[in-house]
């Protein structure tokens, strides 16, 4: 029992693709942290005239929790919360909590929900009280939720298609901030492939070079060199950063450069990275097989295996990237 409530059952990531499509439906946990308080999942509500609901001026993160031999581990929690606050600053949102407050609340949220593996969603948004595009005077509110979540994309390889929509222009917004409204861009690209044979879209930038997927960063491998689009029009992905740090340790060179579709079509390997996507091999782009159509290239496989070892607590050299949660105790912290 906890606070007069029955202790919820341990939750673990489900992995049940249906007809090749992965089920991303919500699975409720017991608590959501809302404006400093833990409230029952069903009671975490906002007014329909909440400012961000109308204008998209909010910021969020997606954070993975992994099952390890030492209990649940939150991957790169500090990096995610640092980016959350960077994005909030881009919208002139003064969060009423510190980065430390949010990090501690997330650890406690995972513990209270007894989540062994899954996903954490922090959201900072302008609340109810002001209408009109400018949010000046609207309260800044914070919500934290977590739930079980499995594979976002088929791990054996995806077929992707270039979208007619381009990634948002860097002079139209703060392109590397994780802003709620930015994701309409990805929603439109996703609508294009819905119901087709393609698993995901690919967006170009305003120069016609490859930018990223709707929720993923993009990499290719050619002659042993790993390449990824530079910052400027893309999200500064945390999984992207991890792969770029990890590659040299495995003996691979990695570079940031503009990538054309022609270069991608001719790549030996290609893959997406992201908190949801993790490391997902790309099998084809616009019906062009990558690397002869092999499901997973050898360098992609090595990177994915190394990443998997890190997030599941099997790589002591990278243990500092994990925040372990003790489900039996209210005290938890870095391992």
What are the backbone angles phi and psi of residue 284, rounded to the nearest 5°?
A: -155, 155
What is the distance between the terminal CA atoms of the chain, rounded to a whole angstrom? 26
d(CA 247, CA 179): 29
DSSP string of 299-312? Answer: HHHHHHHHHHHHHT
Residue found by looking up tokens 């381009």 in the block: 166
d(CA 11, CA 110): 10
The tally of CA atoms less than 13 A away on the side-chain side of residue 121 is 15
Residue found by looking up tokens 């209270």 in the block: 112
d(CA 239, CA 274): 5
d(CA 315, CA 308): 9
CB 67 within 8 A of CB 312: yes
Beta strands in 55-194 (DSSP E): 58-60, 63-68, 71-75, 118-126, 140-147, 158-166
Phi-psi label, residue 114: left if phi above 0, alpha if psi -120 to 50, beta otherwise: left
Residue found by looking up tokens 């309409």 in the block: 184
What are the backbone angles phi and psi of residue 320, rounded to the nearest 5°?
A: -70, -15
Catalytic-labelled residue, pool 67, 112, 161, 178: 178
User: b vs e for 64-76, b when ≥16 Cβ sit within 10 Å of the residue's Cβ?
Assistant: bbbbbeebbbbbb
d(CA 272, CA 277): 7
Q: Is 178 a catalytic residue?
A: yes
d(CA 115, CA 113): 5
Catalytic residues: 178
């Amino acid at each position: 029992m906890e606070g007069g409530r029955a202790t919820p059952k341990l939750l673990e990531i489900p992995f049940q693709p249906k007809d090749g499509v992965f089920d991303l439906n919500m699975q409720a946990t017991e608590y959501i942290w809302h404006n400093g308080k833990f409230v029952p999942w069903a009671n975490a509500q906002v007014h329909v005239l909440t400012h961000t609901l109308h204008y998209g001026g909010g910021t969020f993160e997606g954070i993975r929790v992994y099952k390890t031999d030492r209990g649940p581990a939150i991957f790169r929690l500090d990096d995610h919360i640092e980016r959350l606050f960077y994005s909030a600053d881009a919208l002139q949102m003064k969060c009423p909590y510190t980065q430390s407050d949010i990090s501690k609340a997330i650890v406690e949220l995972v513990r209270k929900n007894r989540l062994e593996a899954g996903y954490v969603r922090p959201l900072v948004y302008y609340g109810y009280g002001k209408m009109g595009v400018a949010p000046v005077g609207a309260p800044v509110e914070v919500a934290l939720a977590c739930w079980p979540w499995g594979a976002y994309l088929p791990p054996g390889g995806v077929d992707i298609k270039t979208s007619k929509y381009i990634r948002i222009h860097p002079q139209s917004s703060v392109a590397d901030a994780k802003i709620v409204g930015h994701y309409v861009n990805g929603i439109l690209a996703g609508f294009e492939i819905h119901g087709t044979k393609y698993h995901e879209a690919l967006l170009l930038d305003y120069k016609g070079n490859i930018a990223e997927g709707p929720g993923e960063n993009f990499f290719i491998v050619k002659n042993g060199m790993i390449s990824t689009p530079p910052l400027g029009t893309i999200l500064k992905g945390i999984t992207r950063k991890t792969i770029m740090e990890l590659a040299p340790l495995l003996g691979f060179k990695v570079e940031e450069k503009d990538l054309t579709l022609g270069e991608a079509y001719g790549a030996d390997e290609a893959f997406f990275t992201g908190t949801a996507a993790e490391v997902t091999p790309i099998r084809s782009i616009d019906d062009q097989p990558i690397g002869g159509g092999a499901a997973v290239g050898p360098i992609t496989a090595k990177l994915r295996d190394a990443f998997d070892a890190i997030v599941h607590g099997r790589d002591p050299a990278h243990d500092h990237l994990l925040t372990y949660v003790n489900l039996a105790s209210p005290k938890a912290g870095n391992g």
